[in-house]
Amino acid sequence: MLSSPEDLLVFEYDAGFDRNAPSAVVVPGTAEEVAGVVRAARDAGVGVVPRGAGTGLAGGSIACGGAVVVSTSRLRRILAIDQESRAALVEPGVVNLDLSNAARRHGLFFAPDPSSQRVSTIGGNIGNNAGGPHALRYGSVVQHVLGIEMVLADGTIASFGGRAPDLPGYDCVPLIVGSEGTLGIVTKAWVRLLPVPEHVHTFLALFPDIETGALAASRIVAAGIVPAAMEMLDRTTMGALNAAFDAHLPEEAGSLLLIEVEGLTEECTAQVARIEAICAAAGAFGARTAATAEERELLWKARKLGYAALARIKPNNYLHDAVVPRTRIPEVLRQVNAIAERYGYVTANMFHIGDGNLHPILLFDARTEPIERVMRASAEILRVAVDAGGMLSGEHGIGIEKDEFMRWVFSEDDLGAMRRARDAFDPDGRMNPGKILPGGEHCAAIATTRAKRALAGEMWV
Ligand SMILES: Cc1cc2nc3c(=O)[nH]c(=O)nc-3n(C[C@H](O)[C@H](O)[C@H](O)COP(=O)(O)OP(=O)(O)OC[C@H]3O[C@@H](n4cnc5c(N)ncnc54)[C@H](O)[C@@H]3O)c2cc1C
């Protein structure tokens, strides 16, 4: 158990803004040890917060109100890869990319690939129902979890689902995936693996600006084509990546679409031709194809390092995660840019455009620019997305970042139903207290949370 102030310091934050030290950090090595910790916490009357790699962006793994953090960093074994039934049994601390790399040795891969996949864990991916570039074709984590072993709030170890794709009775797995640790601590998961496709074609289409790129993306999907991935990067992001990692991205473009199609070779060739024609008609002025597997790898590496590269421009940024109907993207982006301009923030855009998942990023310097002002601009951006028929989060979760904004999109009846579902697992609210549902007091003292609460109320009125 870790309890010295210097040890707790490294567990007081995730990749978002909020900070708060836990009362202690426990690092169990088995499900039984996790159960023991949960029982001890129950007896002591304190909350328990599961934590994977801490790359979450919504404050989900931050402990509030004296809660204890349960780190899964010692639960990192791949227990089985079953080639025949295309499934793997893993502990929650397994790093996403490690699972895919291990599965590739059997001709298989784990499809969910958040850009944080080099460090984020399967437990955290399950907690947040992570997406990623390839969610466009393969769906998010919920589509890839078959069964879960979980320590419940009373310290018992329960199983839901299993290795088989469909079991009789109520299916609790989709309820647990995305519950951000509020229903229990996942200690094992059976996940689906997919066969590595025969052919992969990765290419860039270059556009004069974001709007023409967004128009092309919308037309590609409207034409009934579902690429494996379709990502947009704007000029600001490309410039940062070139400066930081010598990525050789074409800064003469106002935006680019990084598109990947995969499947049978003939199928891919036909799809690429149709996509290129749609891009050209929408205003693309160039295309580049990754000629080798190494080039493909470099393009994806660049995409996935984009967030880190932006620190070249400003030391801090606020990454949004709203999702909007694809056809509304050009118009929503126009409004987002207008808001950022009014506040005087530089923005960068790098997002999973194929599934409407916007990630406008406000760049700022927290040493000189007040966080409350960033929050104010962010709340306006979120409101624009919601008004366009969108949702608060496409993949990063609600955590303590957006709990109060839940009232914008759910009625009191809806929220009451969610509370009852949570109570069925955890009647005393000990598992990750203060997360997801609005009105929780546990995390109310944290500074940016307070700012968001105020804004949520203000903008609702
Ligand atoms: C640079 C960067 C890029 C990112 N790109 C993406 C992306 O493309 N797509 C995407 O979806 N997200 C992305 N994220 C967000 C984040 O990486 C994901 O949400 C990821 O799934 C979090 O995993 P983690 O191991 O870091 O979990 P943590 O941050 O530690 O925890 C996340 C949530 O899961 C809960 N949790 C953790 N372990 C367990 C467990 N064993 N049982 C129950 N609950 C648990 C926690 O309590 C918390 O609520 C990105 C983040 C960064 C910093």
Residue 203: C-alpha distances to residues 179, 207, 411 (Å): 36, 13, 43
Q: Are 439 and 315 members of one domain?
A: yes
Looking at residue 355, the DSSP 8-state letter turns out to be G
Distance, CA of 235 to chain centre: 23
Instruction: Tell me the pLDDT tens digit for each residue of 366-424.
Output: 899 988 899 999 999 999 999 999 999 988 999 999 999 999 999 999 999 999 999 99
Q: Are 369 and 386 members of one domain?
A: yes
Q: Which atom of ligand 1 is nearest to the CA of 435?
A: 49
Q: Are 436 and 352 members of one domain?
A: yes
Encoded tokens for 403: 């709990």
Q: Which atom of ligand 1 is nearest to the CA of 183?
A: 43
Q: How far is the CA of 125 from the centre of ligand 1 (A)?
A: 5
Q: Are 177 and 54 members of one domain?
A: no
**CB-count exposure of residue 103 (10 Å: 0-12, 13-18, 19+):** buried
Name, in order, each residue with C-beta under 8 angstroms of 184's C-beta and a sequence gap of 6 or more.
150, 151, 152, 153, 158, 176, 425, 426, 431
Instruction: Tell me the pLDDT tens digit for each residue of 26-57.
Output: 999 999 999 999 999 999 999 999 999 999 99
Q: Give the C-alpha separation, 99 to 263, whole Å.
A: 21
Q: Are 184 and 212 members of one domain?
A: no
Encoded tokens for 100: 């895919």
Q: Give the C-alpha separation, 375 to 388, whole Å.
A: 20
Looking at residue 67, the DSSP 8-state letter turns out to be P
Q: Are 215 and 123 members of one domain?
A: no
Is beta strand 68-71 parallel, antiparallel or unpaired with respect to 48-51?
parallel
**333 ligand 1 Cβ < 6 A:** no
**Phi-psi category of residue 318: left, alpha or beta, with phi > 0 → left and psi -120 to 50 → alpha:** beta
Residue 114: C-alpha distances to residues 125, 135, 323, 416 (Å): 8, 9, 16, 31
**150 ligand 1 Cβ < 6 A:** no
**CATH number reported for the structural domain that contains residue 368 in this entry:** 3.30.70.2740
Confidence (pLDDT) at 37: 98
User: One-letter amino acid identity for 409?
Assistant: V
Q: Are 344 and 443 members of one domain?
A: yes
How many beta carbons lie within 10 A of that of residue 291, not counting itself? 10
**CATH number reported for the structural domain that contains residue 115 in this entry:** 3.30.465.10
Q: How far is the CA of 400 from the centre of ligand 1 (A)?
A: 14
Name, in order, each residue with C-beta under 8 angstroms of 372's C-beta and a sequence gap of 6 or more.
451
Pocket test for ligand 1, best of 10, 30, 61, 437 (most atoms within 8 A of CB): 61
Reported as type and span, the H/E element at residue 90 is strand 87-90
The residue whose CA is least distant from atom 31 of ligand 1 is 124
The residue whose CA is least distant from atom 18 of ligand 1 is 56
Q: Are 226 and 126 members of one domain?
A: no
Buried b (16+ CB within 10 A) or exposed e, 127-147: bbbbbbbbbbbbebbbebbbb
Q: Which atom of ligand 1 is nearest to the CA of 399?
A: 49
Q: Give the C-alpha separation, 391 to 454, whole Å.
A: 20
Q: Which of 167, 195, 223 is the last residue of a domain?
A: 195
Pocket test for ligand 1, best of 128, 143, 307, 430 (most atoms within 8 A of CB): 128
Confidence (pLDDT) at 377: 93
CA count, 13 A, side-chain hemisphere, 457: 7
**61 ligand 1 Cβ < 6 A:** yes
Q: Domain limits at 10?
A: 5-71
Looking at residue 134, the DSSP 8-state letter turns out to be T
Q: Are 82 and 41 members of one domain?
A: no
Q: Are 219 and 273 members of one domain?
A: yes
Specify whether the CB–CB gap between 123 and 113 falls below 8 A. Answer: no
Q: What angle do CA 296, 297, 302 make, to 5 degrees?
A: 100
Q: Give the C-alpha separation, 202 to 288, whole Å.
A: 9
Q: Which of 174, 195, 216 is the last residue of a domain?
A: 195
The residue whose CA is least distant from atom 39 of ligand 1 is 123
**239 ligand 1 Cβ < 6 A:** no
Q: Are 45 and 65 members of one domain?
A: yes
Q: Which atom of ligand 1 is nearest to the CA of 15?
A: 53
Q: How far is the CA of 180 from the centre of ligand 1 (A)?
A: 9
End-to-end CA distance of the chain: 46
The secondary structure of 276-327 as a DSSP string is HHHHHHHT--EEEE--SHHHHHHHHHHHHTHHHHGGGT-SEEEE---B--GG
**CATH number reported for the structural domain that contains residue 253 in this entry:** 3.30.70.2190
Q: How far is the CA of 124 from the centre of ligand 1 (A)?
A: 4
**395 ligand 1 Cβ < 6 A:** yes
Residue 106: C-alpha distances to residues 96, 100, 198, 311, 407 (Å): 16, 10, 14, 38, 46
Q: How far is the CA of 284 from the centre of ligand 1 (A)?
A: 35
Could you say which residues of the chain have pLDDT below 50? 461
Number of domains in the chain: 4
Q: Are 180 and 287 members of one domain?
A: no
**CB-count exposure of residue 274 (10 Å: 0-12, 13-18, 19+):** middle
Q: Which of 308, 323, 344 is the last residue of a domain?
A: 308
Confidence (pLDDT) at 461: 40
Q: Give the C-alpha separation, 203 to 227, whole Å.
A: 11
Q: Give the C-alpha separation, 110 to 138, whole Å.
A: 10
